[in-house]
Structures are given as structure tokens and as C-alpha cells.
Amino acid sequence: MNYFLVAIVAYLLGSVSFAVIVSRLFGLPDPRTYGSNNPGATNVLRSGNKLAAALTLLGDALKGWLAVALASRAAPILGLGEVHIAIAALFVFLGHLFPAFYQFKGGKGVATALGVLLALDWRVGVGAAVLWLVIFGLTRTSSLAALVATAVTPIAAYFFRGADFATGVILLIALLVIWRHKENIARLLSGNEKEIAKSKSSQ
């Protein structure tokens, strides 16, 4: 029963779309109607509002962190274990990808995955964030930075944690992030993926 409860609470928390909420608060268009049609921070940035994009990034990362942190804090009280905490990590991420409040059409999960990683193992999360910043700084391409950082996270998790249940969840999350970027991958391979600076200047 505890597994189901943890999964449901985490999923509902993940279903909150900060891209949509923040855009409404700032009077911006729905991010699902322009650019990549993705309700995420990068697409909100295409509106030209950097603050809205930053708040979207923060909110999406925070909900990922919060779900895992709450499960961790509740563990001794409710008799939860490491598997429960990892389930919270997985289902808050799934909530972002397939939100119940938005017809199951969510974002690509990069920010939420980062929040999850920081809560599960800060070493993996910080490493992923630093790698994203380095790749983005070199290429100005958000999707490439996300893909490279995501691909490395399961390896880092195995290095720091070994082959535990959480590492398996991190691997699954990484695979889902990559899958959600399949269109970006196709554009990267064809040389048609836009850099952030170019996308902003074309608005």
C-alpha cells in the first residue's frame, strides 16, 4: 500500500506544470502553442522572458527534489525504505512527462530529472549540472547539453552508488529523457538544431 501511496503523491506533484503556470502568471502565451510546443524552461525562454524561464526551471527542478526529499523524510515515520524513495523519484518524473492535469502531454523532463538527481545523490546531480553548463557554454545548444549530461548520469550513479535500485531508476529516467529528445536528436544529426542565441534572435 505504501508503494502505491508514494507513487500517486509523487505523480500528482510531478503533474504540476510550472511552464504553463508561470506563463499564465506573466501573461505569456501557452508554451505548448509555440516554438517546440514543449512545456519546459527552454521553450519558455523563446518567449523572450528570461525570468519566466528561470522560474520554470526552478519550479520543475524543485518538484523533482521535493518528491524525493519528502519520501526520505517520511521514511522513518511511515516505515519506507530506499525502494520507496526511488519510486517517488521515478513517479514525480513520470508525472512531468505525462501530467494528469494537462491531458498527459508534458515536458521532456530535464529540469525535473535534475531535481530528482540532486535529492537522490547530490554528487550525481551536481556532476550532471556542471556537465550541462560546460556543453551548453561550448555549443549554445540546450538539447545537446541535456543529452550528453543525461547519458553520463547512469554511469556516474553506478560509480558512486553501485547497482542499487535507485541506480536502476536513474538509468530508466535517463533513457526516457533521451527518448523525449528524439526529434532533437534527428535535428542534431541533420545539422538543423538551433542554438539558444539564434532561437532568441529569430523571435
Give the residue with greater pLDDT, 185 vs 192: 185
Give the model's confidence band at 203: pLDDT under 50 very low, under 70 low, under 90 confident, else very high.
very low
CA–CA separation, 56 vs 66, rounded Å? 15
What nine digits make up the cell of 191?
545539422
Residues 6+ away with beta carbon under 8 Å from 87: 3, 6, 7, 10, 71, 169
On whether the CB atoms of residues 88 and 69 are closer than 8 A, the answer is: no
Q: According to the model, what pLDDT value does residue 1 have? A: 52
Q: What is the pTM of this model?
A: 0.90
Residue 84 and residue 78: Cα distance in Å, rounded? 10
d(CA 173, CA 21) in angstroms, rounded, equals 24
Q: Across residues 164-175, what is the average pLDDT?
A: 96
- Nearest residue to 141 via CA among 201, 86, 196: 196
Domain boundaries, the chain: 2-201
User: In which band, very low, low, confident or very high, does the pLDDT at 88 lie, cut at 50, 70 and 90?
Assistant: very high
pLDDT, residue 48, reads 86
197's grid cell = 542565441
Q: Is the pLDDT of residue 200 over 90?
A: no
Please tell me the predicted confidence (pLDDT) of residue 15.
96
First-to-last C-alpha distance (Å) of the chain = 50
* pLDDT bracket for residue 39 (50, 70, 90): very high
What would the mean pLDDT of 97-108 be, rounded to a whole number?
93
Q: What pLDDT is attached to residue 152?
A: 96
pLDDT in the model for residue 196: 73
Q: Tell me the three state secondary structure of residue 56.
A: helix
Q: Mean pLDDT across the stretch 14-37? A: 92
